[in-house]
Structure 1
Amino acid sequence: MSSIFSKIIAGELPGHFVWRDDRVVAFMTIAPIVPGHLLVVPVEEIDHWDDMPEKLANHCLGVARVISRAQKAVYGCQRVALQIIGLEVPHTHLHLVPINTMEDTDITRAKMAEADALAAEAEKLRAELVDKGFKEARL
């Protein structure tokens, strides 16, 4: 059975993407802790992050690093938290959360967001990535 993330990646469910290449996608989480909270997800359905092949793991982290720089520019945050929790969906995903306080990392504070708000945040991040020359953000 495919995960909800596989369905989003395949276009069977809506998603607000900021990055897509042949191995990794990044899209806004429907339940952000703060504006700009998104997920970096390998296209291949792998349940545990530590089961990813090394090259794929490195690529995921590299994409996360690029996107975190865009998040810093867009949100003016002090840091971008990287969280790999993995209990919510059995498909590896990296949470990238713009943070200014430790409370900004508390996943229990996540709340469902409106589609229009997610689309607006995705557009801001895509524009920043495209401005920096990343074609993977031209969706």
Structure 2
Amino acid sequence: MSSIFTKIINGEIPGYKVAEDDDFIAILDVNPNAKGHTLCIPKQEINKIFDMEEALYTDLMKFSRKVAKAIEKTVDCKRIGVAVVGLEVPHVHVHLIPLHDMDDMRFQRKVSFTKEEFESLATAISANL
């Protein structure tokens, strides 16, 4: 069965796309730790990050760096945190989280946005790529 990310990649369900190339997509997390929390996802459905071919893994990190730089230009923060957890969705994804303090990385403090706020933020980050 396809993961929720595969369904977003295939256009079966909506997502707030920030960036995309042939191999990866970046979307805003709909349950974000902080404003600008973005997920970088390989289009190939792979369960565990260290099961990825080395070249694809390296390319995912390069793609994530590019997106992180755009988030940093868009969202006020001290830095962009990176996390790969992978327990909630069995499809590799890199969390890019704008940080103000360590609690932003704990996945316990969440923020909410309207559809319009998500769309506006996705557009703003995309413009900074």
Q: Give the TM-score taking structure 2 as reference length.
A: 0.95
Superposed, which structure 2 residues align to 1:1-40 within 5 Å? 1-40=1-40
Checking the alignment, whether the CA contact within 8 Å between 1:31 and 1:113 is kept in structure 2 is no
- Once the 2 structures are TM-superposed, how far is the Cα of residue 110 of structure 1 from its aligned partner? 2.6
Supply the distance in 1 between the matched residues of 2:111 and 2:98 (Cα, whole angstroms): 15
Q: Which stretch has the larger CA shift, 70-79 or 11-20?
A: 70-79
Supply the distance in 2 between the matched residues of 1:110 and 1:76 (Cα, whole angstroms): 17
Supply the distance in 1 between the matched residues of 2:47 and 2:32 (Cα, whole angstroms): 21
Supply the distance in 2 between the matched residues of 1:114 and 1:57 (Cα, whole angstroms): 33
Q: Deviations over 1:87-124 (max 9, x none)?
A: 11000000000112101112122345432221111011
Determine helix, strand or coil for the equivalent of 1:56. helix
Determine helix, strand or coil for the equivalent of 1:72. helix
| 2:73 aligned partner | 73
| 1:99 aligned partner | 99
Supply the distance in 2 between the matched residues of 1:112 and 1:6 (Cα, whole angstroms): 24
Considering fraction of residues, name the structure with more helix.
1
Please give the root-mean-square deviation of Cα atoms over the aligned residues, in Å.
Answer: 1.1
Amino acid of the residue matched to residue 87 of structure 2? Answer: L
Determine helix, strand or coil for the equivalent of 1:61. helix
Identity %: 36
Q: Which runs of 5+ in 1 are unaligned?
A: 130-139
Q: Deviations over 1:38-95 (max 9, x none)?
A: 1000000000011011111111100111111111111132110000010110000000
Determine helix, strand or coil for the equivalent of 1:31. coil
